[in-house]
Amino acid sequence: MHALSTSSAPSSRPRFVPRLSSLALTAAVLLTGLPAWSLDLRQAYESAQAHDATARAAAAAADAARERLPQARAQLLPNIAFSAGRNRNDLSREQSGVPVPEAPYYSFNQTLQLRQPIYRRPLMLALEQADHLVADADATLERERQNLGVRVTGAYLEALLAQDQLDLVLRQHAFTLAYLDAARKALAAGSGTRTEIDEAQARLDLNLAQQLEARQQLDYTRRQLESMTGQPAGELVPVDPQRLTLVAPQPAALEDWLLLAESGSPELLALKSRLEAARLEVGKAQGAHHPTLDALLQVTRSASENVTTPESSYLNRTVGLQLNLPLYAGGYASSVVRQAAAESLRAEETLEATRRDLGLRMQREFRGVTEGVLKVRALEQAVRSAEQLVKSSRRSFEAGSRSLLDVLNAEQQQQTALRDLAQARYLYLLSHVRLQALAGTDQAAAISQVNGWLVRH
């Protein structure tokens, strides 16, 4: 432990504390070469919409699911088919035990058939089911779009936080380096201690390791954002504390947000559509016991189809109704009904479980916004207090009532407060976007609102 000076005279210690102007200059030199800000959050989101592979896969899945509707409708429309065949026939005939030579001949047939379903309950329910499946696909796509906004916002804010952490580490390096020089000069003048030098050197060595970690984190977060946007993420527009509006969510009650989610959450809408589709699947399975009725129109043209009159030709026109009544299928239809009923129950329970989980997630993000306002304000005051502590520690050191290590500790406390404040601001912004996404509100509007709190240098 280093010794503390007991002298209170202002001239008792050399003034080796580095001035803020020199520290700012050192930090500016260290930060030279960092990219200028240019890419904002809205631009990143728009780029991700066109480039992100997960979003494109969700769009393709929705396009594929939408084809269920015309497919189901086609099953209820007339079906027209044409078939034709031509055959070579070798006929052997005996008469009174004596073979009668016959020449080979050719036969052919052509059939044009039109079948119009009149009553097929499974097909009717399948058309209604297709509507719900398309609604499920649209809601799932919207959910992925909401998730994309949250993922891009999270990656963007993580990159900003990584940049802030690197800036703080570099700033701390500049302070520590200056204090190490001051400690060496104080020891040479006979007013310092070796412990102060060792402490400053130890912190400087630790700072180098922190710089490496901060640079790695910054590189990772930028690459993460690049993978979503498909463009370099080296230049990001930072949050402007002067523009950032710390307000409680609107509506102000969690219950109102839950009501919004019940009617607007794409996650719940998708599961509700799946539940309706599962219930209709039960009806389709039960429809296997129902008779089917089709209208049939058929025209058949053939020649040499009759072995007794191989040189004849026929033209047959048929119009009628075809009834099919299932009687017994070995228990298959009943098993399918039970299976569909179990799937319907599973879809219902999944919806309820998701509704409860969504309520918990919305409560977490709601509190992240409401309590985030209080936390940011508290940390802003903590930063102001830390800045005042640094100033007081400097004056006390110059007066001889504080040591160089006390000033270093005050500086480190200030850096910690600045880091915590940055984290709290980014968490507040991310909770704001997440809450909007969970409720199913306009994601682009939420991102534009956050983007309005950024500023270009």
Domain ranges of the chain: 20-76+125-290+336-451, 78-92+100-119+292-325
Whether the predicted pLDDT of 7 surpasses 70:
no
Choice among 15-19, 136-140, 155-159, 271-275 with the minimum mean pLDDT: 15-19
How far is the CA of 426 from the CAs of 221, 415, 417, 454, 456, in angstroms?
14, 17, 14, 12, 17
Q: What is the pLDDT of residue 116?
A: 96
Fold of 78-92+100-119+292-325: Outer membrane efflux proteins (OEP) (2.20.200)
Average pLDDT value for the chain: 87
Choice among 48-52, 86-90, 325-329, 426-430 with the minimum mean pLDDT: 86-90
Tell me 396's DSSP state. H
How far is the CA of 60 from the CAs of 57, 369, 397, in angstroms?
5, 34, 67
Q: What is the pLDDT of residue 125?
A: 95
Over range 232-254, report the average pLDDT. 89
Of 306 and 440, more confident: 440
Whether the predicted pLDDT of 2 surpasses 60:
no
* Each residue's pLDDT tens digit, 250-309: 898 999 999 999 999 999 999 999 999 999 999 999 998 999 999 999 999 988 766 666
pLDDT category, 157, cuts 50, 70, 90?
very high
* Each residue's pLDDT tens digit, 172-225: 999 888 888 888 887 888 777 888 888 888 989 999 999 999 999 999 999 999
Angle at 108 between CA 105 and CA 113, to 5 degrees: 165
Q: Which residue has the tokens 């002298």?
A: 7
Whether the predicted pLDDT of 391 surpasses 70:
yes
Helical ranges in 250-331 per DSSP H: 254-264, 266-286
Whether the predicted pLDDT of 16 surpasses 70:
no
Asked whether the domain spanning 78-92+100-119+292-325 has the same topology as the one spanning 20-76+125-290+336-451, the reply is no
Fold of 20-76+125-290+336-451: Outer membrane efflux proteins (OEP) (1.20.1600)
Share of the chain above pLDDT 70, in %: 89
d(CA 334, CA 288): 9
* Each residue's pLDDT tens digit, 323-346: 999 998 889 999 999 999 999 999
Are the beta carbons of 434 and 365 closer than 8 angstroms? yes
